[in-house]
């Protein structure tokens, strides 16, 4: 078996130890004679899997007791609608737009509140090409907003909020799309009213979205909201109003356990800092490649870079594929390359990428 280094932004590489464990248990989970995909979600085996996944996640993030953890479907994109429908309750919300994902969230919130003027743009970096985070001094915040929405790691533009939103006021609940960096670093969950994340970047398979919500924000949904989108109903039913994405939850649970065994988020963050620093330092010093994000806003997870000579892009990608380095093509809206180096990407993968980049620059430079 030959595993390649997969730099996909998502669905992304999973820890090889987790995949091996799942393969071993595929036909017979813990001696029960069936695999996880075949189990009743109401049975005691799956109950054990779900409870362990939630407990491990709570331990990893030190989730306070007054927060619910929900395992939902529909991806982060469905939550772009679900959040305003659950939290607005006739009020209005502020949105920060710092990249493609927060822009999509803003547009969807406008759509589902059609014409009510319930969604305000409180700050944007679009004019500069989404290459930095917003300073608190440039925000136009409404102190009476029901919530303030932002994306703490813009997967496409490679822009990351580094400081747990330290510059933002505490009175308005912060709603954060953490899809592409949750569990990559330590965070203070109590800073947020609601955290959500699609699983396929840093947690597990697609089909699962994780939501961590402060209890006092529940129960504000309009009475005509579809039941499966109502966070309060989902919380009352322990994410099991209907059949949850059982296999995705199981894999996520294995990933949580893997993280705990590695030493938790402090240890993972140290690894991620080392990986990202190595790649940025090489890019900055190369004179051949460049990253155009403001240094203080550079993502540790998604690292876009351009070749100074863009006519070499196809040759770069073809050579990378031959060297066992795949999914490096940048998002079409940014161009160039992007290396996504989530938790599951080992340092050796980053080193292999840098070796290849060095060699390519030497041959073509
Ligand atoms: C991938 C991604 C999404 C969309 O996730 P889906 O699960 O495809 O809906 C939303 N936000 C961010 C930050 C992402 O990286």
Walk along the chain (365 residues) in steps of 10 and give the mean pLDDT of each run: 92 97 98 98 98 98 98 97 96 97 98 86 97 95 97 98 92 97 98 98 97 97 93 97 98 98 98 98 98 97 97 98 98 96 98 98 94
56 catalytic residue (yes or no): no
29 catalytic residue (yes or no): no
Query: Looking at the domain covering 17-261, what would its CATH class be?
Result: alpha beta
Q: What local confidence, expressed as pLDDT, does residue 115 receive?
A: 65
How far is it, in rounded angstroms, from Cα 46 to Cα 68? 19
11: preceding bond cis by omega (within 30 degrees): yes
Q: Is the distance from CB of 211 to CB of 16 less than 8 angstroms? A: no
How far is it, in rounded angstroms, from Cα 317 to Cα 111? 38
201 catalytic residue (yes or no): yes
How far is it, in rounded angstroms, from Cα 299 to Cα 295? 9
For the Cβ of 179 lying below 6 angstroms from any atom of ligand 1, the answer is: yes
Query: Which atom of ligand 1 is nearest the CA belonging to 99?
Result: 13
One-character DSSP codes across 174-238: EEEE-TTTTTSS---GGG-SEEEEETTTTTSSTT-EEEEEEGGG-S-S-TTS-GGG-HHHHHHTT
Dmax (CA) of the chain:
64
Among 268, 275, 305, 309, which Cα is nearest to 290's? 305
Distances 111 to 202, 209, 226, 304 between C-alpha atoms, Å: 29, 21, 16, 30
Pairing of strands 148-151, 93-97: parallel
Of 103, 179, 194, 333, the residue with max ligand 1 atoms within 8 A of its CB, to mutate for a pocket test, comes to 179
Q: What does the domain layout of the chain look like in residue ranges?
A: 17-261, 264-364
Exposure class string for 177-204: b at 16+ Cβ within 10 A, else e: bbbbbbbbbebeeebbbbbbbbbbbbbb
Beta bridge partners of 157: none
Residue nearest to atom 8 of ligand 1 (CA): 75
Q: Model pTM greater than 0.95?
A: yes
Q: What local confidence, expressed as pLDDT, does residue 223 receive?
A: 87
Query: Looking at the domain covering 264-364, what would its CATH class be?
Result: alpha beta
For the Cβ of 313 lying below 6 angstroms from any atom of ligand 1, the answer is: no
For the Cβ of 76 lying below 6 angstroms from any atom of ligand 1, the answer is: yes
For the Cβ of 302 lying below 6 angstroms from any atom of ligand 1, the answer is: no
């Amino acid at each position: 078996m030959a595993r390649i280094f997969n730099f996909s932004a998502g669905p992304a590489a999973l820890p090889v130890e987790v995949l091996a464990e799942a393969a071993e248990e595929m036909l017979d989970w813990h001696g029960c004679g069936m695999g996880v995909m075949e189990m009743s979600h109401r049975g005691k085996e799956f109950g054990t899997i779900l409870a362990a996944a939630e407990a491990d996640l709570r331990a990893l993030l030190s989730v306070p007791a007054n927060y619910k953890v929900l395992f939902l479907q529909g991806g982060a994109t469905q939550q772009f609608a679900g959040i305003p429908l659950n939290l607005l309750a006739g009020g209005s919300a502020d949105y920060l737009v710092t990249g493609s994902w927060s822009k999509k969230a803003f547009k969807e919130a406008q759509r589902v509140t059609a014409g009510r003027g319930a969604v305000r743009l409180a700050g944007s970096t679009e004019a500069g090409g989404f290459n930095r985070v917003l300073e608190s001094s440039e925000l136009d915040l409404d102190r009476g907003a029901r919530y303030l929405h932002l994306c703490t790691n813009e997967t496409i533009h490679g822009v990351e909020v580094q400081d747990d939103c330290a510059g933002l006021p505490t009175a308005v609940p912060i709603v954060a799309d953490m899809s592409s960096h949750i569990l990559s670093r330590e965070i203070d969950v109590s800073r947020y009213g609601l955290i959500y994340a699609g699983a396929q970047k840093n947690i597990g398979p697609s089909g699962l979205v994780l939501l961590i919500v402060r209890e006092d924000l529940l129960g504000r949904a309009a009475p005509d909201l579809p039941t499966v989108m109502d966070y309060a109903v989902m919380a009352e039913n322990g994410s099991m109003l209907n059949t949850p994405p059982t296999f995705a939850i199981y894999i996520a649970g294995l990933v949580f356990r893997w993280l705990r065994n590695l030493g938790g988020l402090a240890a993972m963050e140290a690894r991620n800092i080392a990986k990202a620093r190595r790649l940025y330092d090489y890019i900055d010093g190369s004179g051949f490649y460049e990253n155009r994000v403001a240094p203080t806003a550079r993502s540790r997870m998604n690292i876009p870079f351009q070749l100074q000579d863009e006519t070499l892009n196809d040759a770069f990608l073809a050579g990378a594929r031959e060297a066992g380095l795949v999914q490096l093509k940048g998002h079409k809206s940014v161009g160039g390359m992007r290396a996504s180096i989530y938790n599951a990407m080992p340092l050796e993968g980053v080193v292999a990428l840098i070796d290849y980049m060095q060699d390519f620059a030497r041959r073509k430079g």
